[in-house]
Structure 1
Amino acid sequence: MRIWPVPWRVAKKTTALTEILTTTEALAAFCSKAEHAPYVTVDTEFLRERTYFAQLCLVQLALPGQGDGEAVLVDPLAEGLSLDPLYALFRNPNVIKVFHAARQDLEIFHVEGGVVPSPLFDTQVAAMVCGFGDQVGYETLVRKIARANLDKSSRFTDWSRRPLSDAQKTYALADVTHLRQIYEYLRAELARTGRTQWLEEELAQLTDASSYIVDPEDAWQRLKLRTSSGRTLGIAKELAAFRERYAQQKNIPRSRVIKDDALIELASTKPRSLADLSKSRLLLRDARKGEIAEGLVAAVVAGLEMPAERQPEMPEGRDRSNLNSALADLLRVLLKAKAEEAGVATKLIASSADLDDIACGDHNGIWATGWRREVFGNDALRLVRGEIALSAKGDRVKIVKV
């Protein structure tokens, strides 16, 4: 892939700041300045190993410019600091908020402040649209676009401990200073290729606040259940809902309440009492007594008493009995060829399951809408109808009209 010249020089090596914004007034002053900028780059450092909700430990922000003079670190753990000025900036429609792989960051800000930053630009998604491959990492983009290397030695340090080391500050700043150059390059590429609208279609789901709401009643759907029994599924639903509510209330990981394999075991063995529960092979020690144990038994009983009409059902899988495997293979070849021709990651256009669906006669997937239809969908349907064939010429695949 050709790397086109960027409109400004490669950013200088980032040096650590000795000060971090620790007051609401200092944050408000920076955000007031940011209101007049076309964009702000954003990243976070957080911990989640010991909690249900992510613990926000650091926010990194940078405005357009070179070096680190326009970049700051914000300490959300500082006593008395409010992130309200930042949330107001996130709601400002005139400033683009630039992230890389934004989903976890957006979830944090939605939980912490009830806001999803908008307008949004995700450089990972933009890079996929521009042909950098599937779910390309930030380090790769820094190397290919900014022509720089990152020191990732601080990636897994404890970001909740204070004071932060110079190495941590340098690492954190690099995540937003190089991001400016990556954003400007990708924005120019999207404009040059006429794909800005493609990116906007992809970002619509990321900015949908409902995608960051976890409903305990739906938690059972994440379990790998292998049963069609409505009663067993009802118990699993009640157990998963209890676990989700308890984990949220206590702010502990789901696995600290009960692990998936133990939950599935209880849905099968159906313990009605604490004595029955104690016979479980997979339960953690803390789940055999107290609030958790009582909640698990109550959930099992609620599942057993669930009326048949309220019992959940496993979603029906796709009927693959009429799968045309030869056609599916041809569609895979076509997808690879069209993705290479367009310079777009194949997984962004269609998944392997999508191709099998097409070969089974389902022609209503996401691949048949928007820019995906233009790049791949129209030719996929022509191939299904026998209107085109594929031939090889050297290392390239050609489409031949029939």
Structure 2
Amino acid sequence: MNNPQNLVHLYDGDLPDGLDLGPLVAIDTETMGLNPHRDRLCLIQLSSGNGEAHLVQIRPVDLGGKGYDSPNLKALLQNDKITKLMHFARFDVAVLQHAFKITVSSVICTKIAARLVYTFTDRHGLAYLCRDLLGVDLSKQQQSSDWGAQTLTEAQKTYAASDVLHLHALWEKLEALLIREKRRDLAQACYDFLPARANLDLLGYTDPDIFSHKG
């Protein structure tokens, strides 16, 4: 990113009043771990696709933050007129629904899209897809850093921003492939199910999966 300090905006606890990110918003999350019941949500990254990233840091009240009192952010997540663009939305939706006690509406997942059309490979991670489809190299150096820290480093903020800044361009490529392979409607059916799939995960229905024949 050119001059990343001007492209990354950090907010404490919520989006500012009046911020309009448009009808298609790229969203990602950073947490303390991969268990939504145990590991708290620390950061939500958003981008309208204009090259800017908006980071909302979530800090517990006992650490001087606002907790999950984020009315502007929750309104955006629940607004079915705003499409949320994510990579591996199953996890992010589960984290957001658990933390904010809401249903996240109108979701698109680039990982599901990739799995439907990139069947010639088992590599569907964001870094691989950005490199293969966009020619963009994403650094994953900060992926396992301490996102619960009181103050995020510039390296953390730059890494977090990179996970949403390219999703619009990636979706444009993947949607074209879905249409070419006549799987766009199938992808949409998967996306429509994501909030329920996330709730099933939160209830523990991952193993055994209720859709499996096992048991």
Q: Normalising TM by the smaller chain, what interval? A: 0.7 to 0.9
Does residue 63 of the first structure (1) align with residue 48 of the second (2)? yes
Identical-pair percentage: 27
Does residue 29 of the first structure (1) align with residue 18 of the second (2)? yes
Change (3 A) 1:93 1:138: same
Aligned residue for 2:54?
Answer: 72
Does residue 162 of the first structure (1) align with residue 150 of the second (2)? yes
* Residues 14, 177 of structure 1: 8 Å contact kept: no
Does residue 104 of the first structure (1) align with residue 104 of the second (2)? no
Give how far 1:204 is off. Answer: 3.9
Give the Cα separation in 2 of the matches to 1:86 and 1:154: 24
Encode CA deviations 1:363-400: one digit per residue, 9 max, x unaligned.
xxxxxxxxxxxxxxxxxxxxxxxxxxxxxxxxxxxxxx
Q: Which runs of 5+ in 2 are unaligned?
A: none
Q: Which amino acid aligns with 2:203?
A: V
Encode CA deviations 1:151-176: one digit per residue, 9 max, x unaligned.
21111110111211111111000000
Give the Cα separation in 2 of the matches to 1:19 and 1:180: 18
Give how far 1:316 is off. Answer: 8.9
Give the Cα separation in 2 of the matches to 1:118 and 1:181: 21
* Residues 44, 58 of structure 1: 8 Å contact kept: yes
Aligned residue for 2:115?
Answer: 128
Give how far 1:56 is off. Answer: 0.7
Aligned residue for 2:32?
Answer: 47
* Residues 95, 119 of structure 1: 8 Å contact kept: yes
Determine helix, strand or coil for the equivalent of 1:94.
Answer: coil
Give the Cα separation in 2 of the matches to 1:151 and 1:73: 18
Aligned residue for 2:104?
Answer: 117
* Residues 138, 162 of structure 2: 8 Å contact kept: yes
Give how far 1:42 is off. Answer: 0.3
* Residues 47, 164 of structure 2: 8 Å contact kept: yes
Encode CA deviations 1:124-162: one digit per residue, 9 max, x unaligned.
000112225346100001101221111211111101112
Alignment of 1:377-392 (within 5 A): none
Give the Cα separation in 2 of the matches to 1:115 and 1:194: 33
Encode CA deviations 1:4-44: one digit per residue, 9 max, x unaligned.
xxxxxxxx5572457511154x43332xx12xx22000001
Give the Cα separation in 2 of the matches to 1:86 and 1:183: 23
Determine helix, strand or coil for the equivalent of 1:21.
Answer: strand
Point out the structure with max Rg over C-alpha: 1
Give how far 1:50 is off. Answer: 9.2
Aligned residue for 1:20?
Answer: 10
Change (3 A) 1:213 1:192: same
Give the Cα separation in 1 of the matches to 2:34 and 2:178: 37
* Residues 25, 85 of structure 2: 8 Å contact kept: yes
Aligned residue for 1:140?
Answer: 128
Give the Cα separation in 1 of the matches to 2:36 and 2:90: 18
Give the Cα separation in 2 of the matches to 1:122 and 1:316: 26
Give the Cα separation in 2 of the matches to 1:178 and 1:137: 13
Give how far 1:97 is off. Answer: 0.5
* Residues 124, 136 of structure 1: 8 Å contact kept: yes
Aligned residue for 1:188?
Answer: 176
Determine helix, strand or coil for the equivalent of 1:27.
Answer: coil
Give how far 1:116 is off. Answer: 3.2
Structure number with higher helix proportion: 1
Superposition CA RMSD, Å: 2.9
Give how far 1:181 is off. Answer: 1.0
TM-score, structure 1 as length reference: 0.46
Give the Cα separation in 2 of the matches to 1:204 and 1:54: 26
Q: Which runs of 5+ in 1 are unaligned?
A: 1-11, 223-314, 319-402
Give the Cα separation in 1 of the matches to 2:214 and 2:107: 35
Give the Cα separation in 2 of the matches to 1:95 and 1:127: 22
Give how far 1:189 is off. Answer: 2.7
TM-score, structure 2 as length reference: 0.81
Q: Which amino acid aligns with 1:123?
A: T
Change (3 A) 1:95 1:175: same
Q: Which amino acid aligns with 1:73?
A: L
* Residues 14, 170 of structure 1: 8 Å contact kept: no
Does residue 178 of the first structure (1) align with residue 178 of the second (2)? no
Change (3 A) 1:194 1:178: same
